[in-house]
């Protein structure tokens, strides 16, 4: 007999024995029959609710309010540290939103198993939300509890990493470097024994996984050229790999010179220098201008050697980017047509 059935029967026994009935009168047979029917219905309802709660708990549907300090980051954390700090604009916006409006979307945690660390919970997904709540917990009087969904289903490491991957793949907000570092950590921990097994599990081609890994496995000297390795675009890997294969020593020497400069080098400039043939004169540095709206960077313009690069900030939606790009093309075409007519 199940535990929930025992609990329901105890409730039924209390009702039918008169513990919840009036103490001053003996109920009539009809009343006792009615009370018995009510008791049975109550017990069945109670038993069903216990079963529902057990199902919710086992499927990760139970919501908890936890002290964020009781949740540890997984060893497979896929966010770069810069994305979890005040230096990242999107993180600052997320933290401000949670402070003002509360946490809309719960993080997902799993119980820490034996040997899994000193904290009772391990983070499955929601690393930026957890980091924001940790900071708010330290800043606000009375702390800042985090809303978490208990996921008993993420029982092993493969379940854990695949749930993390699916969440970020749906949002499309991880950089190639972060994907590459994440895949490398899975392979190093033997969560997947081969790249082919990993690729099949996440629904990517084997060459795509290889490309992501190549970004994360760039030499430390090359990575140091970029203020934020998340800036490295996948399309840059072909010229970088070609340059490293042709003359690795030269590329590393150039990388060290870039890293030793005062102030950061724009990412495109660093790429140009790293991939330029040996002896080629360094191109003129690009001039970058940040355009802000209401104190936030809406877009950046960089100009170098007749090339104009436009980078939208996180505040501009993908749809707005598409519409603005079309308007810029139309404006440029119209303006240049007028100018060329006068020449």
| Residue 109 scores a pLDDT above 60 | yes
CATH number of the domain to which 162 belongs: 3.90.1530.30
Q: Where does a domain end: 278, 298, 322?
A: 278
DSSP-based three-state secondary structure for 293: strand
Q: Where does a domain end: 250, 278, 306?
A: 278
Query: Do 267 and 330 lie in a common domain?
Result: no
In this structure, is residue 140 part of a structural domain? yes
Domain count, the chain: 4
Name the more confident of 220 and 302: 220
Counting residues of the chain whose pLDDT is more than 90, the rounded percentage is: 25
Lowest mean pLDDT among 37-46, 162-171, 239-248, 325-334: 37-46
| Residue 319 scores a pLDDT above 50 | yes
d(CA 191, CA 118): 22
Query: Do 77 and 160 lie in a common domain?
Result: yes
Tokens representing 249 are 């020593």
Contact 108, 125 (CB under 8 A): yes
In this structure, is residue 86 part of a structural domain? yes
β-strand pairing of 146-150 with 107-111: parallel
Give the model confidence (pLDDT) of 175-222 as tens digits: 899 899 989 989 998 889 999 999 999 999 999 999 999 999 999 999
Query: Do 169 and 96 lie in a common domain?
Result: yes
Give the model confidence (pLDDT) of 11-64 as tens digits: 455 545 544 444 445 667 777 776 777 667 766 666 665 665 565 555 555 788
Query: Do 92 and 24 lie in a common domain?
Result: no
Query: Do 124 and 43 lie in a common domain?
Result: no
Give the model confidence (pLDDT) of 137-162 as tens digits: 999 988 899 999 887 665 577 877 88
Query: Do 68 and 170 lie in a common domain?
Result: yes
Lowest mean pLDDT among 215-224, 255-264, 305-314: 305-314
Give me the domain span that covers residue 17: 3-58
DSSP assignments along 87-116, one per residue: TSHHHHHHHHHHHHH---S-EEEEE--TTS
In this structure, is residue 283 part of a structural domain? no
In this structure, is residue 207 part of a structural domain? no
In this structure, is residue 186 part of a structural domain? no
In this structure, is residue 95 part of a structural domain? yes
In this structure, is residue 189 part of a structural domain? no
Q: What is the mean pLDDT of the chain?
A: 79
In this structure, is residue 214 part of a structural domain? no
Check residue 22 and give its pLDDT.
46
Query: Do 129 and 146 lie in a common domain?
Result: yes
Tokens representing 304 are 């170098």
Tokens representing 201 are 């599990």
Lowest mean pLDDT among 112-126, 144-158, 283-297: 283-297
């Amino acid at each position: 007999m199940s535990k929930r059935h025992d609990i329901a029967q105890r409730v039924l026994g209390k009702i039918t024995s008169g513990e919840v009935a009036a103490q001053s009168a003996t109920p009539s047979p009809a009343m006792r029959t009615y009370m018995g029917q009510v008791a049975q219905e109550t017990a069945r309802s109670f038993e069903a609710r216990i079963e529902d709660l057990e199902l919710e708990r086992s499927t990760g549907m139970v919501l908890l309010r936890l002290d964020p300090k009781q949740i540890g980051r997984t060893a497979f954390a896929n966010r770069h540290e810069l994305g979890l700090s005040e230096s990242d604009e999107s993180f600052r916006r997320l933290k401000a939103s949670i402070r003002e409006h509360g946490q809309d979307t719960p993080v997902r945690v799993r119980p820490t198993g034996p040997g899994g660390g000193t904290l009772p919970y391990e983070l499955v997904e929601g690393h930026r939300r957890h980091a924001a709540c940790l900071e708010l917990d330290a800043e606000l009087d009375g702390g800042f509890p985090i809303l978490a969904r208990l996921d008993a289903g993420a029982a092993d490491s493969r379940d854990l990493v695949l749930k993390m991957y699916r969440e970020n793949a749906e949002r499309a907000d991880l950089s190639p470097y972060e994907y590459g570092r994440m895949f490398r950590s899975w392979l190093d921990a033997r969560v997947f024994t081969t790249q082919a097994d990993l690729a099949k599990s996440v629904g990517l081609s084997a060459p795509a996984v290889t490309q992501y890994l190549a970004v994360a496995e760039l030499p430390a000297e090359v990575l140091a050229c970029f203020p934020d390795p998340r800036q490295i675009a996948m399309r840059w890997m072909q010229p970088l790999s070609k340059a490293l294969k042709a003359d690795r020593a030269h590329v590393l020497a150039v990388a060290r010179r870039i890293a030793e400069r005062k102030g950061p080098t724009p990412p495109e400039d660093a790429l140009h220098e790293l991939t330029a043939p040996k002896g080629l004169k360094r191109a003129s540095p690009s001039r970058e201008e940040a355009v802000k709206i209401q104190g936030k960077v809406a877009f950046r313009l960089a100009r170098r050697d007749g090339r104009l690069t436009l980078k939208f900030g996180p505040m501009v939606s993908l749809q707005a980017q598409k519409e603005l790009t079309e308007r810029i093309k139309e404006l440029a075409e119209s303006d240049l047509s007028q100018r060329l007519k006068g020449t």
